[in-house]
Amino acid sequence: MYESIAPIWQCVIGAMFCFLCTSIGASLVFFFKKGNTNKMNGVLALAGGIMIASSFFSLLMPAIETCEENNLPIYLFVAIGFLIGGIFIVLSDKILDKFFNLEKFAKHRAFKRSIIFAGSITFHNIPEGMAIGVAFGSLTLGADSATITSAFMLALGIGLQNIPEGAAVALPLKAQGVKTSKSFFVGMLSGIVEPIFAVLAFLLCYYVGTILPFLLSFAAGAMVAVACCELIPEAVKNGKNKATIFLIIGFFIMALLDTCL
């Protein structure tokens, strides 16, 4: 059933699923009185493992294969693309921290931190949307390691980590006195960029197939950086062993499904 749908619509479905997961996470603001997301740390670690595995199985492997098929230098399109994607996320954190200088607007440091995190999550969703787009876009170019299963599992991994992200945006805002409905709206909108950039990346892969390995590697580097900068540090706050176990389980699930299906 899913295979019979055109790849562009598969991409839209996958990206909209991620947006829905963000909305689900943000909707928790209606059920919690305080912005406590500690119970979601295991989910963050699980999602981190899935995203790291997806970066390899769904992005880097097709990138290397495409380079080999088209006699393109792997170091240029894959290694450098991965490096640039990771640096992009690291630099974006510093730029956002300077850009969202809200000290003169907010009396409470916690409120400023909540706004910065909301902007950071929204910005990080751009390469995540791109990752979905290039994963489904690679299907149109016939790479053997690019499968519907791997593309869908990538979307699943991103969607899973979007649930606590949506909550992490909405709940702190409510804790700082923002209305519940507005907190939910901001949390939900933090994920709207994913469908937009997923479609843009898909079209870019479709019409400019030569740069597909670079886009795949860039998205992989960005996703690994997001997992290391945002998901894992938050997950280990309530115990390194618990977070490590969930991260390994997440990687195992993605590796098992991608290699067996």
Compare 88 and 69 and report the one with higher pLDDT.
Answer: 88
Please state the rounded mean pLDDT for residues 163-175: 76
* Predicted confidence band of residue 102 (pLDDT cuts 50, 70, 90): very low
- Start-to-end C-alpha separation, the chain: 16
**197-246 confidence digits (pLDDT tens):** 899 888 887 666 677 788 778 888 887 887 887 778 878 877 788 888 98
C-beta of residue 37 within 8 angstroms of C-beta of residue 187: no
Highest mean pLDDT among 37-41, 67-71, 150-154, 184-188: 184-188
Average pLDDT for 136-165 = 75
Measured in degrees and rounded to the nearest 5, phi and psi for residue 36 equal: -105, 115
pTM comes to 0.65
pLDDT value at position 177? 73
Do residues 182 and 114 make contact, with C-beta atoms less than 8 angstroms apart?
no
Could you tell me if 134 and 219 are in contact, meaning their C-beta atoms sit under 8 angstroms apart?
A: yes
pLDDT confidence of 106, banded at 50, 70, 90?
very low
For helices 148-175 and 41-54, angle between their N-to-C axes, nearest 10 degrees:
150
Q: Which of 252, 250, 255 is nearest to 50 (CA)?
A: 250
Within 8 A by CB and 6+ apart from 95, the residues are: none
* pLDDT value at residue 123: 67
Average pLDDT, the chain: 77
